Amino acid sequence: MKFGKEFAAQLVQEWQEAYMDYNYLKRLLKDVLHFRQQQSTPSPMMAATTPKGSSLKRRVSLYRAFSGLTNRCSRGSPRKSEEDEEVILVSSEPNGGLSKTMFLMSSDDDGEYEFVFFRTLDDQFNKVVSFYKKKVEELVAEAGELSKQMDALIALRIKVDNPILASNGDPSFSVSVHSINGGKPGQSHMSTIQEVEMSSEGCLEEEKRGDDENGRTSDVKGFRPASLEVLDQVKINIKHDTPVSILKCVMMSKKSEMSFSKRDLKRTEELMTHAFVEFYRKLRLLKSYCFLNQLAFSKIMKKYDKITSRNASKAYLQMVDDSYLGSCDEVTKLMERVEATFVKHFANGNHSKGMDTLRPKAKRETHRITFFLGCFFGFSLALLVAIVVAMHARDVLNSPGRNQYMENIFPLYSLFGYIVLHMVMYAGNIYFWKRYRVNYSFIFGFKPGTELGYREVLLLGSVLSVLMLGGILSNLDMEMDPRTKSFEALTELVPLGLLLVVMLITFCPFKIIYHSSRFFLIRCAFHCVCAPLYKVTLPDFFLADQFTSQVQALRCLEFYVCYYGWGDFKRRSNKCGGSHIFDIFYLVAAVIPYWIRFIQSLRRLFEERDGMHGLNGLKYLSTIVAVTTRTILELRPGNTWLIVAAASSGVATIANTYWDIVIDWGLLRRNSRNPWLRDKLVIPNRSVYFIAMVLNIILRFAWMQTVLGFREAPFLHRKALVAVVASLEIIRRGIWNFFRLENEHLNNVGKYRAFKPVPLPFNYDDDDDKGV
C-alpha cells in the first residue's frame, strides 16, 4: 500500500484538517517534476542533429565525466557536488514557535515551483505544531484535573473501607495497623497503606524532578500521605441513572453533606475508570498524530530529494526533530504515568488486566460470518421460491379465503418483514459509512470493539428472514396437507411462536448473540420510553427517529395482542376492526414515536437553551396532528376529516421535508463551495446528494395516498398497499440515516471533536465558584 493511502487510513477523521496535507504537497512536487521533464526534453532541431542510437542525456553525462577528470588535476579546493550544496536554510522560533525555510536555489529554472513547495511546507508544519501544542496543553490540564479527582477518590476509599482509621486522622497509625494486620490480595479495594503510597508516589516523583531541575538535592525521607481533608472541599457529582432516582431528586432537596456509601463509591470508581480509559485513548491518538505527521514530513522530503536530486531533507528533518513536534515527550510521560496509576489503582497491580482495559483489542474480522451469511441468504431465497410455488399450487391469490388470509395472517408476518427491511437498510448504511470514513461508532458511542459491521447486521437479518419465510411456508403446508388440517390452532400459533423466539433472543441475559449490541439497543429504547426523564443523547433520538418510520410495525404488535387475546385465532377471525378500544390504541400506536421525539426536543430545549430544539418540537407536534387526523379519517371516513387531514398532512410533510434536507442533512446552502449543497462532502459525486433530496421529497409524499383516497389498488389488497407504503418509508429512513450521520460527522470534523465529554465524579468548591 502506498504511503498516501496508509496515511489517510490511519489518521483521526475528526482531526483530518489538522494533519499535514500530504496529497497537496505531492501535487506540488509533481509540478516540479513535470517542469523538469519539459526542460530535459530535446528540441526538434537538436534531435535532428543527434546521431541515431545516441541521446543528449548520454552526451551530457560523458561531458561531465570528462570535466571531472580535468577538474581533478586543477589546483585549489575541490568543488562541491550538486548533492552537497546547501539548498535551504531553516530557522525556527524558540519554545515551539513558527518555522521558516529559506530556499537558496530560487535562481534555477524550476526555483519558482520549489519556492512554492517550501512555503506550503512551512505552512503545513506550523499548522501541525500549533495544533499539537494546543492538544498537549489541554491534556496536561486534564491530567491535573484527574490527579485532583484521584486524591478525592483515594480519600473516599479510605473513608468508606476503613472509617475507624479515617476518623483517627493519623497516617502513621494507618501504616502501623496495616503492617500488623497485613493486606489480603483478593480484596475488592486496596488497603489503606496502598492508597497512601499511591497518593504520595506521584507527588514524590514530581518533587524529585523539580529538585533535579533546579540543581538542588531532595531530602524527602518518607511518603506524603493522602489527606482526608480533601473530602471537605468536594461534592460527589453522580448523575441519576434511573427515573425513580430522578423523580426523587426533583421532589426532594439535595443533601448538603457528602455521601459515603459503598454504592456511591462503586459508582465513583466506575466513572473514574471510564475517565482514565478515555484519557488514555486521547493520549494514544495524539501520539499517533505526532508520529504520522513526522513520518509524512520525512516521506515528502525524501520524495523532494528524489525528484530534484538535491539534499535538502537532512536539514529540514533535523529541524523537525528539534521542534516541539519531535522533541516534546510530555505525551509519552503522561501515558506511562496513566498506565502505572491505572494498574495500581484499578487493577490491583495486575498489569495485563489493566492494559487490557486501557487498550481494548481491535475487532477481528472472521470468514465465519461471511460463510453463515451466504448460507442463510441462500436458505432465504430457497424458501421464497418454495412459498411462490406453494401459493401457485393452492391458487391463493384467487382463493375465496384470500381476504381472510390478508386480514388475519398477513399483518402477523409483515411485522418481521418491516424489521428485516430496516436491518438491510442499516447494513447498507454501515457499509457506506465505512467506505466514506464516517466515524459512526464514535458518534453512536459504541464500546470499542463491540460495534456490529454490515456483515453481522445482514447475518441477523437473513436469520430472521429464514425464520419468517419458514413460518409462512409451514403455515401454507399445514393448510394444504389433509393430514394436518385438524391442527388449525397449531397453524395459527406459528407467528406467535416466532415472535416469542425473537423476543427471547433479544432479551437474553447471557453473553451470546452480540450481547453488548443487544443491551445497547435495549437501553436506548428504554431511554426513549422513559423520556424526558433521561438526558437526551444522539443514540436516543436517533432510535426514536427510527421508530417514527416503524409505525406499521407497532400497529402489527397491537394486532398480535388483539388477535391472540380477543380474537378467535382458531377460526382465523377477529373483531378488532369494530372495537372502540382497538381504534384508540390504533391511534396511540401511531402517535407514540412522534410524541417521544416531541418531549425529547422539549428536554433538549430546557437543557441547552437552543431555539432550534423548540422548532423541532413544533415540527413533531404538527406531525402528531397530521397522524391523528389521518387515523381518524381512516377509521371514520368523512369530507370534514378529509379536508383537515389533507391540510395538516401537507403542512407536516413540507415542514418535515425542509427539516430533513436543510437541518438534518445540512444541504441547500446557497453560498457554499458546492452550490446548493454544503462546503464539505464525503461523497465525491455531487449528483448523489441531489438524487437523495428528490427521493426524500417523493417518498415523503408517498404516504399521503391514504389521505387522497388511494387506499386500494386493483391488483393489491388494502393491507398489501399499506405494507408497500410502510416499506417505502423505511427505505426513505435508511437514506436519511446516511446523510444525517454524515452531517454529524462533518460537524465533529469542523470542530475537531474526536472525543466525547466524560463526566467526573467530584466537584471541587473552587470549580463551583467558577461556574464549572
* CA trace torsion 734, 738, 744, 745 (10° rounding): 150
CB neighbours of 343 closer than 8 A, spacing ≥ 6? 349, 350, 351, 353, 354, 355
CA 627 to each of CA 546, 548, 552, 644: distance values in angstroms, whole numbers, following the listed order: 16, 11, 12, 11
- Using 50, 70 and 90 to split pLDDT, how confident is the model at 264? confident
What is the number of other CB atoms lying within 10 angstroms of the CB of residue 721? Answer: 17
* CA trace torsion 574, 576, 578, 583 (10° rounding): -170
R_g of the chain computed on alpha carbons: 35
Is omega for the bond preceding 360 within 30 degrees of 0, making it cis?
Answer: no
| Three-state DSSP state, 602 | helix
Q: Which residues partner with 235 through β-bridges?
A: 763
Instruction: Give me 454's grid cell.
Output: 454490515
Q: Which residues partner with 118 through β-bridges?
A: none
Asked if the model's pLDDT at residue 55 lies above 80, the reply is no
Q: Which residues partner with 764 through β-bridges?
A: 234
Q: pTM of this prediction?
A: 0.82
For 603-644, the pLDDT digits (tens) are 999 998 999 999 999 999 999 999 999 888 888 888 888 889
Assign residue 745 a region (left: φ > 0; alpha: ψ between -120 and 50; beta: otherwise): alpha
Report the Cα 487 to chain-centroid distance in Å: 50
pLDDT at 44: 53
> % helix / strand / coil in the chain, to the nearest 5?
70, 5, 25
Write down the mean pLDDT value for the chain. 80
Strands (E), 168-288: 234-236
For 470-517, the pLDDT digits (tens) are 999 888 777 666 666 665 677 888 899 999 999 999 999 998 899 999
Contact (Cβ atoms closer than 8 angstroms) between residue 211 and residue 129: no
Q: How far apart are CA 24 and CA 477, in angstroms?
A: 65
pLDDT at 99: 79
pLDDT at 412: 92
Q: How far apart are CA 520 and CA 446, in angstroms?
A: 8
What is the number of other CB atoms lying within 10 angstroms of the CB of residue 595? Answer: 18
- DSSP 8-state code for residue 134: H
Which residue would you say has higher pLDDT here, 55 or 542? 542
Q: How far apart are CA 696 and CA 661, in angstroms?
A: 8
Lowest mean pLDDT among 65-74, 211-220, 496-505: 65-74
- DSSP 8-state code for residue 434: H
Q: How far apart are CA 229 and CA 156, in angstroms?
A: 10
Residue (of 56, 57, 36) closest to 109 by Cα position: 36
Amino acid at 162: N
- DSSP 8-state code for residue 399: S
Contact (Cβ atoms closer than 8 angstroms) between residue 613 and residue 598: no
Pairing of strands 762-764, 88-92: unpaired
pLDDT at 192: 40
